[in-house]
Amino acid sequence: QVQLVESGGGLVQAGGSLRLSCAASGRSFSAYAMGWFRQAPGKEREFVAAITWSGGSTYYADSVKGRFTISRDNAKNRVYLQMNSLKPEDTAVYYCAARPYTSYGYTANEYNYWGQGTQVTVSS
């Protein structure tokens, strides 16, 4: 079992930056691949970024590639999402997710554990 708690969301102007953090508790955090997803009002939850258990490989949705960076610190049981050059269309609730495999997944149903989400609002 892994418990996940996101933080770092907020209100920012377009072009600004935010850094989301996800704190994990439970056993063997380093054995889990991690992902970030987001869900805007009236839309389905969508994949944003993922990272392998070691942090050696990452993958991004085309919509955030070059602007967002996912990273992890296994010693601190944390995963991060650095978001730069934010756009109004990035407004959503952002969720951290974990799956008990070394490789990452691209869809929500590949992840077993979820945080409660943190709101990111980008004003124009």
pLDDT in tens, 34-73: 999 999 999 999 999 999 998 899 999 999 999 999 999 9
Closest CA to 96 of 66, 71, 63: 71
Provide mean pLDDT across the span 13-17.
Answer: 98
* CA separation for the pair 30, 10 (Å, rounded): 28
| pLDDT for the residue 1 | 83
- At a CB cut-off of 8 Å and minimum separation 6, what does 54 contact? 30, 102
**CA separation (Å) from 75 to 28, 61, 106?**
11, 27, 25
Asked whether the predicted pLDDT for residue 111 surpasses 80, the reply is yes
Confidence bin at 29 (pLDDT 50/70/90):
confident
CA–CA distance, 99 with 33 (Å, rounded to integer): 5
Share of the chain above pLDDT 70, in %: 100
- For position 112, what pLDDT does the model report? 94
3-state helix, strand, coil in the chain (%, to 5): 5, 50, 40
Q: What is the mean pLDDT of the chain?
A: 95
Query: Position of tokens 């951290």?
Result: 96
Kindly give, in sequence order, each residue whose CB lies less than 8 Å from that of residue 70, ignoring residues fewer than 6 positions away. Answer: 34, 36, 49, 50, 51, 58, 60, 79, 80, 81, 82
Is the per-residue pLDDT at 87 higher than 90? yes
